Amino acid sequence: MISTHRRLLNLNQKHVFGDDRNSRGLGLSPRVIMGLLIMAGTLLYYQFGTTSYHNEFTGRDQKLSLATPQEEIAMGLESAPQMIRQSGGLSRDAAGRAMVDRVGARLIASTAARETPYQFQFHLLADTQTVNAFALPGGQIFITEALFRRLKSEDQLAGVLGHEMGHVVGRHSNEQMANSQKWSGLAQGFGIMTSDGRNNSGAYLANFVAQWRVMSFSREDESESDALGVRFMMQAGYNPEALIGVMEILAQVSGGGGRSEFMSSHPSPDNRMEHIRAVIAQERAARR
């Protein structure tokens, strides 16, 4: 049954597109036509199959894969238990967990984040090896003990949690899903167009460009979340310069702040510190 289906599919493809010999007069091979169709379909879906949204926190128009915050919340709640298990569970440090909850609650209560439908929950993870903090769509926010233990003040903790809140209200994961799907489809179509079965350099190049594009969007998201983190810290009465101290910690852990950003998902700590200083100056000027 499967082999018969494949023979029929091959016959149909020849009937619609012609084989390479017959289509040379048109200048388009079936491979090129197929690649163009995939690319066109990808762009049409990105334009009309995603949700257009103006984000009041960032001031940007976005294309989103998930239409509603409720869908983001459901995805985050579904993924949270697995993320906790992968990080060795929740921390056994009751005082540390309470501090994370207290700082998170203060940030929410003092900012416009409280007016969103997102269900913010803050988790201190037991992982003592990985210096990290991250957020899932919908408001699940995590910080590892490895990072928590390196922080020197409550203000620095507020900077970390405020940054992750920025990812949530910025709807960055949702936007990244739409962007990743777009660039993956374009890379697939271009790879089919340029591949002849022997030389796949076109496909490799297309995948490289797609990965670089997605990484660049991720770096922009990090900068945007740094800015939102500064705003949230100041609204909650925390010292925003503490976020610069967090970047210094990250620079030490990563072996220095001057690494290349070309294929990295995060800006270099040095560039982030410079950007944070500029945002602090802007926020203070706007408050005068």
pLDDT (average), residues 197-221 = 58
Evaluate whether residue 209 is within a structural domain.
no
Give me the long-range contacts of 130-135 (CB less than 8 A, separation at least 24).
Answer: 130/87, 131/249, 131/250, 131/253, 133/160, 133/161, 133/163, 133/164, 134/83, 134/164, 135/164, 135/165, 135/167, 135/168, 135/173
pLDDT-based confidence at 197, cuts 50/70/90? low
Pick from 24-33, 185-194, 197-206, 240-249: least confident: 197-206
- The verdict on residue 66 lying in a domain is yes
State residue 17's pLDDT score.
Answer: 34
Number of CB atoms found within 10 A of residue 226's CB? 24
Percent of the chain with pLDDT over 90: 57
Which pTM value belongs to this model?
0.75
Specify if 191 maps to a domain. no
**Position 104 pLDDT exceeds 80:** yes
With respect to residue 27, please indicate whether it lies within any of the assigned structural domains: no
pLDDT of residue 41: 85
More confident residue, 10 or 71: 71
The pair phi, psi for residue 133, each rounded to 5°, is -145, 145
Q: Give 126 or 29, the one with higher predicted confidence.
A: 126
Q: Is residue 11 part of a domain?
A: no
Q: Residue 96 falls within a domain, yes or no?
A: yes
Domain count of the fold of the chain: 1
Domain that holds residue 87: 52-175+216-287
**E-assigned strands of 131-269?**
133-135, 140-144
pLDDT, mean of residues 154-159:
98
Any domain includes 109: yes
- The reply to whether 188 falls in a domain is no
